[in-house]
Chains A and B, each alone.
Chain A
Amino acid sequence: MGKSILIVDDSASIRQVVSLTLKSAGFDVIEACDGQDALNKLTGQRVHLMISDVNMPNMDGLTFLREVKARAEYKFTPVIMLTTESAEDKKMQGQAGGAKAWMVKPFQPEQMLVAVNKLVGP
């Protein structure tokens, strides 16, 4: 059974690209369309890594990060934040000390796989 990864992004196409890439590398993928959706889908199951967008409706990535870190079972789960090359997102980077890594969109799927493997092992 593969390690499971949660991907949170309001853009369905990005979710799909990330999810397909990870699945083809043997990971199990849980998809969520915003922070709230992600929190609803985290029901205590083991998640090895979370990848989250920052700018999302309903609950943005930083709020999600804070909420998920407040849950005992996900306190140590590494989180990769996805961001874009915008001034707004750059400001936000400073606010998310809990994230393990940042990836700037657009990225090549292979790049992401390298980062993922680094954090959770192949």
Chain B
Amino acid sequence: MTQDPNAQAQIEPTELGANAAETGDRQLTDETSDAYGSHEVGVGNLDFATVAEMGHTATQLDPLAPAVLSVDNLKMYFPVKSSGVVRRTIGHVQAVDGISFEVPKGGSLGLVGESGCGKSTTGRLITRLYKPTGGSMMFEGQDLAQLNNKQMKPLRRDVQMIFQDPYTSLNPRHTVGAIVGAPLEVHKIVPKNQVLKRVQELLEVVGLNPEHYNRYPNEFSGGQRQRIGIARALTLNPKVLVADEPVSALDVSIQAQVVNLLQDIQTEFDVSFLFIAHDLAIVRHFCPEIAVMYLGKIVEIGDRETIYGRPHHPYTQALLSAVPDVKQAAIGGRRERIRLEGDVPSPINPPSGCRFRTRCQFAQEICAKVEPPLLQIGQRHKVACHFAGELGAHPATPVTTALLGVDDQGSPVSGAAPTNTQLTIPGYEETWYDLKTRQTTGV
């Protein structure tokens, strides 16, 4: 401990952001593990098992948490203009087409999907970098989708964003202090002479040397720059943080540090995350709830155990089968890899009915005719598929016919009224549609 460079800094261990190295002399139990977060207060009094449990394990789901952000039927269509002198709109890129989800308070929702499926667009809609074409985003009783820029400004304090690329998300001509302090100046929260204090506090929270406030971004590594970006997002004490692939531009070893930092921030400041990523392992670690997107729609949403253990949508199953498995690589067995044929269809002219049907091995006539609703099939599980079922156990007949009032080919049945009432609500209902009994059941 004598060589601990921070030993003389005399930072109280209980202080926000005081990290392990700054706590000075520690008892043996502290040093046994680096795994626990830096914000755990008074770890010295606990035995190792407790300390290890408080470490950076996967974030747990709190099923009772109220929703802080509730997105309902959100749509974003980008116009496609023709070339030539008179540029008419000849179509729309349906980047996000009617998605609904909830971000629980203090929780995190993971948004996964392949490139171009509308994940980032969703994040940018929530931070209102784009104005949505339709739908609503309810946040603290206000619909973010309807506000103009002026009305939006006070709410921007509560909805912040962490960007993907730490090299372009920081202005190279500004010092770190100016970058992190800019939100304070824009919103005029603290007097000018206290900005520096707050900046240093934030730099400490994200694990940077607070004395480095007058350095420029080019003097930091990628991981450090991403920490600066996180500090900037935290400056205004936001309630919702949209993390748009926050670690995908970083080295794998740094990814873990940054994800752990985000977890610490979440427990410390009770921030809700919308975590956009394509790394399924990181999403699994960070998000107790996951939504899978395909071509502008959510195809499956549910808690971690369901999505990773018992996915019901063919696309989710294909996505998960693509995750490399270290164990299988070691013992040499062949993985059951589901290969999707063809390309993602154009979002300008998406397929009728189910958008995944062009690449789905279970697709039948009904899939082209009727769009499957995002149906709640478990306590915290929704799926949008006519043939939803666990891998290898997809039903032979569509499960949604009774709900939608159609026959097995998707043609409307005269006299049969659609009975489904829970198509687009953002959250989960008490009752759900059981796939085996084909009846609505509850707990």
Report whether chain A binds chain B: no
Which A residues are closer than 8 A to B by beta carbons?
none
